[in-house]
């Protein structure tokens, strides 16, 4: 068609000359050479405009940096600032929790009586006026917090955590700092009504004189993230549309929502809700980590969960799951997660939920 359009001026010229020769009465306007060239040039420009693909402007991230916690682009000042790790109550009478969906990472592990307690690690919390409810520290959560260079917020502790709390930056609600950092509401009975806020956390950090930025040599957190959300598909993995880690007390499980790409959380027979916005609690990645354990002495109900050794587990994302192994660091060094070929796994950027499951409950896990 393009060739025919280019030939049209010449054909028209020849046709007009023929008509003029046959009839002296016909008046024919013959285009000049300049007009013909202009028409051809205009048609070629139109053709180019029709075939050139549209180009989208390049995405810029000026003033941003990839988060150590989520792998997503975030305000650089927030990424460079130390996060806060907040102990979250997970008893049924304490539900719904508030601001749990704003945590980039959730750690869940059994405590005494085999109930589970949560710890949320927060990077972007400046606008939050209610986080909680907040509960007391347990030894293994102290170490997880320190792996992320977090400032650890808790309301009390078991005796066995005291020696470790003395070694890290923490905001303890039962000490003098408590009234600065925490407040109680009247809608629930203690100990299920203690909350913190961005204002309280910042005031406590300032009062204690804690370092607020990561140290200069801090280059990554515990997880290794892929470049973009959805890059990790686990195509050869098993189906994982339903994930039951193996917690019998709260009967917690996740269901995959393919439309959003999130895993939606349920416990105590209902959808788990964030009271901040009324939305269901969710995550993008799930890590199940099987750990050996024992009691602190036979006469106490407190658990010593061995997160410093090594073990097995699963990595779950995008409706698929693969078996993994993990290796704990010495003291406060990060835990590393590997695929079955010994390579460190990559996580999809987004929110991550780490489910620590006691070794004797390994067979209770259901992934299907």
Reported as a single tens digit per residue, the pLDDT across 39-65 is 444 454 444 444 455 555 567 888 999
CATH code of residue 186: 3.50.90.10
* Residue % of the chain over a pLDDT of 90: 79
Alpha helices in the chain (DSSP H): 2-22, 33-51, 76-80, 139-147, 162-165, 178-181, 198-208
Same-domain pairing of 145 and 269? yes
Q: What's the whole-number average pLDDT of the chain?
A: 87
In a domain, 293, yes or no: yes
Same-domain pairing of 20 and 115? no
Q: Give the total number of structural domains in the chain.
A: 2
Greater confidence (22 vs 185) lies with 185
Kindly tell me if the per-residue pLDDT of 6 is higher than 50: no
Expressed as residue numbers, the domain containing 31 is: 2-51
Question: Is residue 335 a contact partner of residue 352, using CB atoms and an 8 Å limit?
Answer: no
Kindly tell me if the per-residue pLDDT of 35 is higher than 70: no
pLDDT reported for residue 216: 85
In a domain, 135, yes or no: yes
Greater confidence (234 vs 37) lies with 234
Q: Is the peptide bond before 4 cis (omega within 30 degrees of 0)?
A: no
In a domain, 60, yes or no: no
- Mean pLDDT (whole number) for 308-326: 97
Greater confidence (121 vs 39) lies with 121
Give the global pTM.
0.84
Q: Which residues pair with 291 in a beta bridge?
A: 358
Same-domain pairing of 249 and 325? yes
Through-space distance between the first and last CA atoms of the chain, rounded to whole angstroms: 57
């Amino acid at each position: 068609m393009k060739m025919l359009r280019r030939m049209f001026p010449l054909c028209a010229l020849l046709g007009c000359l023929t008509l003029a020769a046959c009839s002296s009465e016909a008046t024919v306007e013959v285009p000049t050479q300049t007009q013909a060239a202009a028409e051809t040039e205009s048609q070629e420009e139109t053709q180019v405009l029709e075939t050139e693909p549209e180009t989208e402007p390049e995405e810029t991230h000026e003033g941003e940096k990839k988060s150590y916690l989520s792998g997503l682009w975030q305000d650089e000042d927030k990424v460079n600032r130390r996060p806060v790790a907040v102990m979250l109550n997970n008893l049924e009478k304490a539900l719904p929790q508030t601001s749990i969906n704003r945590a980039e990472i959730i750690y869940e592990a059994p405590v005494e009586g085999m109930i589970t307690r949560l710890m949320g690690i927060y990077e972007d919390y400046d606008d939050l006026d209610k986080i909680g409810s907040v509960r007391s520290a347990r030894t293994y959560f102290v170490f997880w917090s320190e792996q992320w260079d977090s400032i650890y917020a808790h309301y009390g502790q078991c005796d066995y955590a005291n020696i470790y709390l003395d070694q890290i930056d923490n905001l303890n609600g039962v000490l003098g700092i408590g009234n600065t950092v925490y407040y109680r509401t009247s809608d629930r009975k203690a100990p299920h009504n203690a909350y913190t806020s961005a204002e309280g956390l910042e005031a406590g950090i300032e009062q204690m004189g804690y370092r607020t930025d990561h140290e200069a040599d801090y280059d990554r957190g515990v997880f290794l993230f892929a470049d973009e959300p959805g890059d990790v598909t686990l195509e050869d993995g098993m189906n994982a549309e339903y994930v039951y880690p193996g917690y019998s007390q709260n009967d917690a499980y996740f269901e995959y929502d393919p439309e959003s790409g999130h895993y939606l959380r349920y416990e105590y027979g209902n959808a788990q809700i964030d009271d901040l916005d009324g939305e269901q609690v969710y995550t993008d990645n799930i890590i199940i980590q099987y750990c050996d354990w024992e009691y602190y002495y036979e006469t106490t109900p407190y658990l010593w969960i061995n997160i410093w050794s090594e073990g097995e587990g699963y990595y779950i994302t995008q409706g698929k799951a693969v078996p993994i192994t993990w290796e704990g660091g010495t003291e406060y060094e990060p835990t590393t997660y590997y695929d079955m070929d010994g390579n460190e796994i990559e996580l999809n950027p987004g929110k991550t939920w780490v489910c620590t499951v006691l070794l004797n409950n390994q067979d209770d896990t259901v992934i299907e």
